[in-house]
Chains A and B, each alone.
Chain A
Amino acid sequence: MKKRQLILILCFTVVFLAPCVCIYAVHDSDKAVSTVTLIIKPACHLTIADEAVSETLIKDSSAEGAFDAGYVEFELNKPTLQVSSNQSWKLSVKSSGFSGPYSKESTDLMLKNDGAAHVSNGFSDYKALSTSEQEIASYDKGVKHEDHPCQYKILLDYENDIPGEYTATVTYTLSTSGA
């Protein structure tokens, strides 16, 4: 008798409950597709900090020492250039030449690039500038916020460098290159 009851309960479950479970277990889904396209062209960015430097040589003091040494050095890391580029790049420099009491040689202005990486063309030590562009750093890949701390030096000569104010404008150019 108990066995028959058990079979009846089982049949009831299969016949009546199972379809209900199936109906409610079914769920639906839908899809949508979106495409995102970004075209990136060559990009570079050059910033400069402490771009204006000046030095005054004082009579009977720093002037004599500088003339005796044959040069005067400006402060370290002034200016500091920061390079960012998303592909191969080069950083160039040129000088306007001096304006002042006489036409002091452009090459009397020298530059050193104390950057930790990618310094080129011998600028890891002082090198004379000219009115033509010279490469001071380059790399065949992109970089982000790469620092190039620089330093100026001006050659001095008792015979040529009469008293007065000498000014030069130095132009730095960052350009991407390659494909």
Chain B
Amino acid sequence: MLCASTNLLMVRTVADAASDSENQASQVALTIPAGAYLNIIDDSVFKSLGEDGSAEQAFDAGYVEFDAGKPTLFVSSNTGLMLFVKSSGFTGPYPKATADLMLKDAGSQHVNGMFRQYRSLSAQEQRITRHYSEGVKNEEHPCQYKILLDYAKDIPGTYEATVIFTLSTLAI
């Protein structure tokens, strides 16, 4: 009776040893830094006020507007962001005031209220847009320039200004 019991126990042990499993763990780590990408199209704009009446019309109005949507900025960021703008000021026949160059951003989202209408640029950075937390992908900012004109100051010649747009992510 004793012998019979022992044999039965061994069979069961063998049966249990027939399946096996083992686990190994693998870790995947990805560090994503803050990333921002600014794309610009139609970055160079040009206007010539001629003797065809366009100059008189512009001077009488006190300004000349450039084409709408030129330039257009595309903003991408994986975190909160700020978009700034500053101007080099004009080169030309005389030191035309930097503030005579104005900009508006017709973008539908996240635009600073002040830039929804034309606002004078300066040599210091001014914030065009800011938003916190979530990122954006190819958010469009169609801009438009306007230059103030004054008969008494704006003598004939070529006036040029460089405008620098800077996109920065917000530090978390």
In this complex, what residue of A is CB-closest to B59? A43
Q: With A31-B38, A41-B51, A142-B152 as given contacts, are A36 and B145 in contact (CB-CB < 8 Å)?
A: yes
- Output the nearest chain B residue to A29 by Cβ-Cβ distance: B168
- Total count of chain B residues near the partner, CB < 8 A: 56
| Contact among A31, A32, A40 for B55, CB-based, below 8 A | A40
B8-45: CB near A (< 8 Å → 1, else 0) gives: 00000000000000000000000101111111100111
Beta-carbon nearest neighbor of B165 in chain A: A32
Decide yes or no whether A26 CB sits under 8 A from chain B.
yes
Q: Is A159 an interface residue (CB 8 A)?
A: no
A141-B152 contact in complex given A32-B73, A33-B163, A40-B157, C-beta closer than 8 Å: yes
Q: Which residues of A contact B160 (CB under 8 A)?
A: 35-38
Contact B49 A45 (CB under 8 A): no
**Could you tell me if B43 and A142 are in contact, using CB atoms closer than 8 angstroms?**
no
Q: Which residues of B in the span 152-169 have a Cβ within 8 Å of any Cβ on A? A: 152-169
Which of A70-78, A81-89, A161-169 lies on the face that meets chain B?
A81-89
Identify B158's interface contact among A33, A37, A141, A179, CB under 8 A. A37
Q: Map CB proximity to B onto A23-53 as digits: 1 under 8 Å, 0 otherwise.
A: 1111111111111111111111100000000
Instruction: For A179, give the chain B residue with the smallest CB separation.
Output: B156
B41 to chain A, nearest CB (A): 10
Chain A contributes a number of interface residues (CB within 8 A of B) equal to: 33
Residue B156 contacts which of A23, A35, A87 (CB distance < 8 angstroms)? A87
Task: Report yes or no: A29 in contact with B166, Cβ–Cβ below 8 A.
Answer: yes
In the bound complex, CA of A45 to CA of B49 (Å): 14
Mask, B136-159, CB within 8 Å of A = 1, is: 000000000101011111111111
A143: interface (CB < 8 Å): yes
Q: Are A43 and B49 in contact (CB under 8 A)?
A: yes
Provide the bound-state CA to CA distance between A87 and B153, in Å: 8
Contact: A35 with B49, CB < 8 Å? no
- Give complex CA distance A58, B31 in Å: 100
Whether A29 lies near B167 (C-beta < 8 A) is yes
A10 to chain B, nearest CB (A): 24
Q: Which residues of A contact B159 (CB under 8 A)?
A: 37-40
Q: Is the CB of A30 within 8 A of B37?
A: yes
Chain B residue at minimal CB-CB distance from A143: B152
CB pair B45–A36 under 8 Å, yes or no, is yes
Q: Tell whether, in the assembled complex, residue B38 and residue A86 are in contact, meaning their CB atoms are under 8 Å apart.
A: no
Task: For the complex, give the distance between the alpha carbons of A28 and B37 in Å.
Answer: 9
Once the chains bind, are A24 and B158 in contact (CB under 8 Å)? Answer: no
Q: Compute how far the CA of A23 lies from the CA of B172 in the bound complex, rounded to whole angstroms.
A: 9
Task: Assess A32 versus B155: contact at CB under 8 Å? Given A23-B31, A26-B34, A38-B49.
Answer: no
The answer to whether residues A86 and B31 also contact, given A27-B171, A31-B38, A37-B45 and a CB cut-off of 8 A, is no
- Listed by A's residue number, 11 A-B pairs whose Cβ atoms lie within 8 Å are A25-B172, A27-B79, A30-B36, A30-B38, A32-B40, A32-B71, A32-B165, A33-B163, A37-B158, A42-B55, A44-B56
- Residues of chain A whose beta carbon lies under 8 Å from any beta carbon of chain B: 23-45, 84-87, 141-145, 179
